Amino acid sequence: MGMDRNTLIGFVLIGALLIAMFVINSKNRLAYEGEQKRIADSVAALQPKIDSNLVKLDSLKTDSIHTVQTKSIFQNNKVDLQDVVLQNEVMKINFTNKGAQPQTVILKKYKKFDSSLVVLQSGDFNKLNYRINVNQNQSAEITDIIFQPMPVVVNADQSSTLSFVAQDSSGKKIIHRYTIKPNDYMIDFDMEVYGADQLFSQNSINLIWQLQTNLIEKDRTYESNQTHICYLEKEKYDFSYVSKPDNKTFTENLNWIGVKQQFFINAIISKNKFKNVNANWSVPVDTSHQDYLARTTTSAQVPLNGFSSKQIIPFQMYFGPSDYNILKKYDNQMENMVPLGSGIFAFVKYINRHFLLPVFSWLEQQIANMGIVILLLTLLIRLITSPILYKSYLSGAKMKVLKPEVDALREKYKDDQQAFGMEQMKLWKSAGVSPLGGCLPALLQIPIFMSLYYFFQSSIDLRGQSFLWAHDLAAYDSIAQLPFAIPFYGDHVSLFTLTAVITSLLISILGMSNMQDNSNPMMKYMPYIFPVMLLGVFNKLPSALTWYYTISNTITLILQIVIQKYIIDHNKIMVEITENRKKPVKKSKMQERIEAMQESQKKLQDMKKKG
């Protein structure tokens, strides 16, 4: 097969799109962090030094007075601070009765890069807060109220319910009720209020949700770039990147809002919908001393159900994996948080959802080793795309046969490239050769490649799965750690990246030996430049993707050699071209217009030369 100019352009387009996405995702990251650190250092240098011990004592004193005052209002002086555990097969939640809310959420089936269990919520920053009116001139934050925990109740459907109660002497009462089902990451959270018309103003709850997203994966920069704040606004899903500080005010009501890390999600859902929502987020400046990725603060109003004294305000909270199949069953569009396609490639999510994901899940059920699953998936994809590949090779073979005639035309019209192009088109048309025969097949493979690009980055089933030397197929494989970082490459050596680049280079070399038009110096070197660019792009991508690319390239090499040497018969091609030349040439309307334009341009050029 010959690698004609169109085929090469197709492959270069694939590489250019991939590199553009990589650059956009990491744009200005290092410059931004450096600037933020400089600003923080300057501000810190101007601040007066404060005795941290005095600050701590004063804070404890203030907090103690505030808590005692609030406790006295709700008659909880005899209730001590305590933690209560609610758990099922997949998660364990430690609740605190101070504010009656989750304090720590541990996922039992997932581990961090350091082999400890994944903790989605921990630390003092995490809280769900709102204010209540305790008398005419005084309000209190719910996080300062000490609730009375009730015994855990096991329901008929095997779900478990934990309730917290706080009340005052006048009969006003607040109950936080949490229910979890077996093997489920969703928590039903009902807020039951007695005296709601007195406890809340303007017939709504002013909710503040604070969340700290902890570092979970080994590559902090990559995980940060994969972290988004996601929301469903007016039944339409969207997201914003959280890799740098920003804020967003929503003009429409939200069904839910959540923070998605690379593979895990924290989200809160309101069945009454959130109104007047504002979200802001920050990232640590000095990442070497912080074990979290970002801190988000969301303020929103939750409308009450009328002005009745007794109210039940329903919420849900999700702490779990970004697993498409798990999220899909909740029927609230949360499955959109799994990034299976976005931006100009948003359409590939349908390929992932309706083809790759079902096939991958079926293979996963049959075979335990994920590396073999990817191998079989690659073979299936190449089998499906083989007719496209064959047509590309056949087109290249036809152009190779016509090469002597094309060279003769080039020599004849060496001073008139436009005339050469017109005559070349006529030659190809008379021989039954499509000028796009090599380009279109390559372009048609772009959606498949981009589908896999998104799929392997977002599939949590690959997380923690080892294959050959790769310890985690959802992260890059590293066979050597460099003592320094190389720009655009990184500070490690990924072996799957090397195999992907080497096989890509072999395809380029084989294509170069059969290239039809090697008169352009840039076309000579482009096949070598593309694999080198892949070296930098692929080095930080999941090893599942580079393993797939290695297999795919290897299959391409084998098919290219087999089809070219054993399937395509060049003598038959000559006979076919000869027969095509005897047939009348049928031109499409588009082709007639193009030729008419070319003829007009040629006449204009001839007139200019004569003038």
Express each pLDDT in 42-79 by its tens digit: 444 444 444 444 334 444 444 444 544 444 455 555 67
Question: Mean per-residue pLDDT for 433-441?
Answer: 63
Exposed e or buried b per residue across 85-106, where buried means at least 16 C-beta atoms within 10 angstroms of its C-beta: ebebebbebbbbbbbbbbbbbb
pLDDT at 369: 92
For residue 506, give the nearest of 536, 533, 527, 525 by alpha carbon.
527
For residue 385, give the nearest of 432, 455, 451, 462 by alpha carbon.
451
Residue 278 in contact with residue 189, Cβ under 8 Å? no
Residue 258 in contact with residue 316, Cβ under 8 Å? no
Can you read off the two tokens belonging to residue 219? 């590559």
- How far from 426 is each of 357, 502, 592, 603, CA to CA, in Å? 45, 39, 12, 18
Per the DSSP assignment, residues forming a β-bridge with 44 are: none
CA 447 to chain CA mean position, Å: 16
Tokens 């390239």 locate to 553
pTM above 0.85, yes or no: no
Higher confidence at residue 239 or residue 309? 239
State the Cα–Cα distance between residues 545 and 555, nearest whole angstrom.
Answer: 15
- Those residues whose C-beta lies under 8 Å from the C-beta of residue 372, and which sit 6 or more positions away, are none
Question: Mean per-residue pLDDT for 514-540?
Answer: 69
**In the predicted structure, residue 415 carries a pLDDT above the cut 60:** yes
**In the predicted structure, residue 38 carries a pLDDT above the cut 80:** no
DSSP alpha helix (H) spans, 143-194: none
Q: Taking the chain, what is the end-to-end CA distance rounded to the nearest angstrom?
A: 46
Question: How crowded is residue 63: how many other Cβ atoms within 10 Å of its Cβ?
Answer: 11
State the Cα–Cα distance between residues 139 and 158, nearest whole angstrom.
Answer: 39
Question: How crowded is residue 34: how many other Cβ atoms within 10 Å of its Cβ?
Answer: 11
In this structure, the dihedral spanned by the alpha carbons of residues 68, 69, 73 and 79, taken in order and rounded to 10 degrees, is: -10
Percentage of the chain beyond pLDDT 70 is 74
* Residue 602's pLDDT band (cuts 50, 70, 90): low
Residue 529 in contact with residue 10, Cβ under 8 Å? no
Q: In terms of C-beta distances under 8 Å and separation of at least 24 residues, what long-range contacts does 412-417 make, across chains too? A: none
In three-state secondary structure terms, 159 is coil
In three-state secondary structure terms, 23 is helix
* Residue 583's pLDDT band (cuts 50, 70, 90): low
Q: In terms of C-beta distances under 8 Å and separation of at least 24 residues, what long-range contacts does 522-529 make, across chains too? A: 523/5, 523/8, 526/8, 526/12, 527/3, 527/8
Residue 504 in contact with residue 534, Cβ under 8 Å? yes
pLDDT at 559: 80
State the Cα–Cα distance between residues 462 and 377, nearest whole angstrom.
Answer: 14
Name the DSSP letter for residue 152.
Answer: P
Mean pLDDT for all residues in the chain: 80
Express each pLDDT in 288-308 by its tens digit: 777 889 999 999 999 998 778
H/E element, 108: strand 101-111
For residue 265, give the nearest of 226, 315, 313 by alpha carbon.
226
State the Cα–Cα distance between residues 296 and 265, nearest whole angstrom.
Answer: 13
Tokens 């570092």 locate to 215
In three-state secondary structure terms, 436 is coil
Question: How crowded is residue 26: how many other Cβ atoms within 10 Å of its Cβ?
Answer: 15
pLDDT at 44: 46
Can you read off the two tokens belonging to residue 365? 């059920």
- How far from 335 is each of 76, 235, 237, 353, CA to CA, in Å? 42, 13, 10, 10
For residue 119, give the nearest of 224, 184, 207, 211 by alpha carbon.
211
The angle at the Cα of 289, spanning 284 to 291, to the nearest 5 degrees, equals 70
pLDDT at 286: 78
State the Cα–Cα distance between residues 232 and 269, nearest whole angstrom.
Answer: 10
Name the DSSP letter for residue 313.
Answer: E
Considering 25-34, 325-334, 510-519, 579-588, the range whose residues carry the highest mean pLDDT is: 325-334
- How far from 76 is each of 145, 199, 509, CA to CA, in Å? 8, 17, 78
The sign of the torsion formed by the CA atoms of 343, 498, 322, 226 equals negative
Q: Which domains does the chain have, with CATH numbers?
A: 5-27+348-591 (no CATH), 50-73+85-338 (2.70.98.90)
**In the predicted structure, residue 30 carries a pLDDT above the cut 70:** no
State the Cα–Cα distance between residues 374 and 381, nearest whole angstrom.
Answer: 10
**In the predicted structure, residue 322 carries a pLDDT above the cut 90:** yes
Percentage of the chain beyond pLDDT 90 is 40
Can you read off the two tokens belonging to residue 600? 């007009």
pLDDT at 51: 47
Tokens 């758990």 locate to 87
Residue 229 in contact with residue 235, Cβ under 8 Å? no
pLDDT at 535: 84
Express each pLDDT in 324-334 by its tens digit: 999 999 999 99
Express each pLDDT in 455-468 by its tens digit: 998 999 999 899 99
Express each pLDDT in 368-401 by its tens digit: 899 999 999 999 988 888 777 777 777 777 777 7
